[in-house]
């Protein structure tokens, strides 16, 4: 599995594996113990994790979510220590991982969601957090361009 195979649905918690497109939208499978299937129509907003970025103050303006998650895995290996953390702790964590993140546009709730997604991915499909796999994915995307 790769980041382009994992999606989030606006208004629904958790992450979903993209199974296949259908006539009315896309078929997703939840990345949890239940493995429930869901058909999402065109009216609902579905975002692939490979297309999500975190705002930064750099020239590019954003950093890909995949790079950030690989960095979290490399440094913390699953133990972020943020269970029950407050707003300042989430901001400090983000500052540690991505010093140039835009504090005005990245909220503590966004960081909390990032950590939740990280734990889901680490549990259900840890291979996507492998740094080498991530580099191969980026090379493939660049070769396609």
pLDDT tens, position by position, 24-78: 888 898 888 788 888 888 788 888 888 989 999 988 889 998 888 888 888 887 7
Is the same domain home to 130 and 83?
yes
pLDDT tens, position by position, 67-118: 888 888 888 877 777 777 788 888 888 898 888 988 899 888 888 888 888 8
pTM to 2 decimal places: 0.80
The residue written with tokens 């299937």 in the block is 37
Residue 56 to residue 51: CA distance in whole angstroms: 15
Residue 100 to residue 23: CA distance in whole angstroms: 42
The pair of three-digit structure tokens given for residue 54, joined into one six-digit string: 């975190």
pLDDT score of 140 more than 50: no
Look at residue 145 and tell me if it is in a domain: no
Quote the number of domains for the chain.
2
Is the same domain home to 44 and 56?
no
Asked whether 26 and 38 are in contact (CB, 8 A), the reply is: no
Buried b (16+ CB within 10 A) or exposed e, 95-113: eebbeebeeeebebeebee
Helices 131-144 and 65-76 cross at an angle (nearest 10°) of 160
Residue 27 to residue 62: CA distance in whole angstroms: 29
The pair of three-digit structure tokens given for residue 30, joined into one six-digit string: 């939840």
The number of residues making up the chain comes to 145
CATH of the domain at 9: 2.30.30.730
Is the same domain home to 36 and 94?
no
Query: 45 is in which domain, residue-wise?
Result: 3-49
Is the same domain home to 79 and 102?
yes
Asked whether 60 and 22 are in contact (CB, 8 A), the reply is: no
Is the same domain home to 12 and 82?
no
Is the same domain home to 62 and 116?
yes
């Amino acid at each position: 599995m790769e980041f382009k195979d994992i999606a989030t649905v606006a208004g629904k918690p958790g992450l979903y594996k993209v199974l296949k497109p259908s006539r009315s939208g896309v078929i997703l499978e939840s990345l949890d113990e239940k493995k429930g299937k869901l058909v999402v129509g065109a009216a609902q907003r579905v975002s692939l994790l490979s297309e999500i970025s975190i705002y930064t103050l750099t020239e590019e303006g954003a950093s890909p979510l995949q790079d950030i998650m690989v960095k979290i895995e490399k440094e913390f290996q699953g133990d972020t220590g943020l269970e029950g953390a407050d707003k300042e702790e989430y901001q400090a964590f983000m500052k540690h991982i991505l010093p140039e993140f835009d504090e005005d546009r990245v909220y503590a709730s966004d960081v909390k969601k990032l950590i939740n997604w990280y734990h889901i991915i680490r549990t259900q499909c840890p291979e996507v957090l492998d740094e080498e796999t991530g580099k191969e994915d980026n090379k493939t995307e660049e070769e396609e361009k």
